[in-house]
Amino acid sequence: MSGLSGAKGLVVGIANEHSIAWGCARALHAAGAQLAVTWLNEQARPWVEPLAQTLDAPIRMPLDVTQAGQLDAVFEAVKNQWGRLDFVLHSIAFAPKDDLHGRVTDSSRDGFLRAMDISCHSFIRMARLAEPLMDRGGSLMTMSYLGADEVIDHYGLMGPVKAALESSVRYLAAELGPAGIRVNAISPGPLATRAASGIEQFDQLLREAVQRAPLRRPVDIDDVGRLCVFLASEAARSITGDTLYVDAGYHILN
């Protein structure tokens, strides 16, 4: 793929070579983009930094969105190195295990707030910091899931959180559109990532998706990466405020 030659982008959410964000970063790099890449903490760094090196990423930094100052530091590094930004990919989500595995009815206040802060509000904060660096327009992308729109067994607390994220996408699109900044969510089908391993009976969910999806096959991180490249490119210049599914058609069934 090509079409992003000279583009500068930030990718947040790579944990290892199985991450959705890694599939996207690899595709964006292959399309010609130069990337800034982050890892969560020192424990994650040995898994992520070698991947960033294969992308020749000139900006490689830690980013824990719950730690004061780290997000600002990443955008300051982008400003100092490039002076601008063309796209941001936000691919992070978290909910405490007890809250994720329990009923939404029983979710704790602290667990709900933490899940919302990391999974949703961090994207809003990134949009605010990206805005002044996108004076020629740009593309903001985040990852959602079908559980935002309908009840998915065992998805629990992340359903309301992802619904808030998709709503935030629409409001950000409306507010940033006059500046030429597009905002979209990508909703992949079930993928065997480290994050997905926290969902109870995930293997059953994955099997059902493959059996029922119209295309009768699973999706992979490269499928998501190709859509990410499209949304970051001029080919998607008139698409904003949407949730785009890449799930072999599974979302049309219910």
d(CA 219, CA 249): 10
Q: Cβ distance 50 to 30 under 8 Å? A: no
d(CA 125, CA 244): 22
Q: Single out the catalytic residue among 145, 171, 245, 250.
A: 145
Q: For residue 138, which of 197, 183, 188, 83 has the smallest C-alpha distance? A: 183
Query: Which alpha helices (DSSP H) does 14-108 contain, by range?
Result: 20-30, 45-54, 70-81, 97-101
Q: Cβ distance 3 to 177 under 8 Å? A: no
Catalytic residue at 155?
yes
Q: Single out the catalytic residue among 155, 171, 245, 250.
A: 155
User: Catalytic residues, which ones?
Assistant: 145, 155
